[in-house]
Amino acid sequence: MKVPERYDLVRTLRGLAPIQGDPTLSLSPGSGWFATRTPDGPGTLHFTLAGPDLTWEAFGPGADWLLDRAPAIAGLRDDVTGFAELARQHPVVHRLAREHAGLRMGATGRIFHPLVPTILGQKVSGKEAHHGYVRVLRRLSEPAPGPRPGLLLPPDPEVIARTPYWAFHPFGIEQKRAETLRRAAAQAVALERCTDASTATARLVSIPGIGPWTAAEVTRVAYGDADTVSVGDYNIKNQVAFALTGAARGTDEHMLELLAPFAPHRGRVCALISAAGIAAPRFGPRMPLRSFAHF
């Protein structure tokens, strides 16, 4: 399939991972591997970008489902209509839109897959979230189908639901996040039936322990929603404020005011700021890593 000019496969697929270093995703220049659990079973999708042509192949019982979904996962169904005009309203957004014109919003069509790392990322450092997620996958999941070494599947929700909360302690995950994860796993079947972001958001926030931030992070990946903004995020409000005003700190309310002119592409602006590596100045010590392994 022909891709848009300057299409960026690696950055687009990287947006499917709420946590950096996700073992269900493997990226290299011109190539990307994505493993997930489909309605037909586990599957792996391999993308290859050669010039203007993107090709893909799939492995495992979920191969056919992934082949049908491949263009959306690769962001080739992302509708950028009108964004170029909106971006001109602010010089920084205009510049980022040009410099990262190849970035697209992928849509996996899966809810529980991104929900696991997002729950594990609640109110902890990125490093702590990564450590816990990798340990969960290594102990409670299995290798992905296909020839890519080291690629892992997301956990089966049935396995997570029947695992007691205290079994997550050796992974560095305390009772609160473990119980939220188990409750979400128990509703995974119903969650996967949601056909749009608004329905999924309503069902997600009805689960104790899941709020608007978690729902936004998940629906952005599952549906490729370019307008979703992660209210309640520790960093993004500061990144947006710094990028658009130069202020070192911001609030959720101010962030939404700054992003309002870019609707229905507010989430796309946030993605561009993150892709550009724009970060607000840091003050004070970083959040320490905790350990629950001795519990």
Q: Any idea what the CATH number is for the domain that residue 189 is in?
A: 1.10.340.30
Under DSSP, is residue 25 helix (H, G, I), strand (E, B) or coil?
A: strand
Q: What is the pLDDT of residue 282?
A: 79
The answer as to whether 4 is a domain residue is no
Please report which confidence band the pLDDT of residue 30 belongs to, taking 50, 70 and 90 as the band edges. very high
Q: What is the pLDDT of residue 234?
A: 82
174 with 202: CB under 8 angstroms? no
Question: Where is 118: in which H helix or E strand?
Answer: helix 112-120
Of 67-71, 191-195, 283-287, minimum mean pLDDT range: 283-287
Does 63 share its domain with 186? no
What is the amino acid identity at position 119? I
Does 86 share its domain with 22? no
The answer as to whether 234 is a domain residue is yes
Does 103 share its domain with 249? yes
Q: What is the pLDDT of residue 290?
A: 54
The answer as to whether 162 is a domain residue is yes
pTM score > 0.85 for this model? yes
The answer as to whether 43 is a domain residue is yes
Q: Reduced to 3 DSSP states, what percent helix, strand and coil does the chain have, rounded to the nearest 5? A: 45, 10, 45
Does 95 share its domain with 221? yes
Which two structure tokens, joined as six digits, stand for 289? 């890593």
Q: What is the mean pLDDT of residues 7-26?
A: 95
Does 161 share its domain with 41? no
Closest CA to 3 of 98, 78, 110, 86: 78
Q: What is the mean pLDDT of residues 140-146?
A: 97
Q: How far apart are CA 62 and CA 75, in angstroms?
A: 20
Q: What is the mean pLDDT of residues 275-290?
A: 71
Q: What is the pLDDT of residue 261?
A: 97
Beta-bridge partner residues of 41 = 38
Q: What is the pLDDT of residue 286?
A: 52
Q: What is the pLDDT of residue 295?
A: 44
The last residue of a domain, from among 47, 78, 109: 78
The answer as to whether 211 is a domain residue is yes
The answer as to whether 126 is a domain residue is yes
Closest CA to 229 of 208, 212, 247: 212
Q: How far apart are CA 157 and CA 160, in angstroms?
A: 5
Does 42 share its domain with 175? no
Does 69 share its domain with 107? no
Does 71 share its domain with 101? no
Domain span at 27 = 9-78
Average pLDDT, the chain: 94
Number of domains in the chain: 2
Provide Rg for the chain, Cα atoms.
19
Does 137 share its domain with 253? yes
The last residue of a domain, from among 78, 110, 135: 78
Q: Match 């119903």 to its residue by tokens.
A: 190
Does 68 share its domain with 87? no
The answer as to whether 2 is a domain residue is no
Question: Where is 191: in which H helix or E strand?
Answer: helix 188-192
Q: What is the pLDDT of residue 213?
A: 94
Kindly tell me if the per-residue pLDDT of 183 is higher than 80.
yes
More confident residue, 18 or 59: 59
SS3 readout for 73-103: HCCCCCCCCCHHHHHCCCHHHHHHHHHCCCC
Does 105 share its domain with 35? no
Q: What is the pLDDT of residue 245?
A: 96
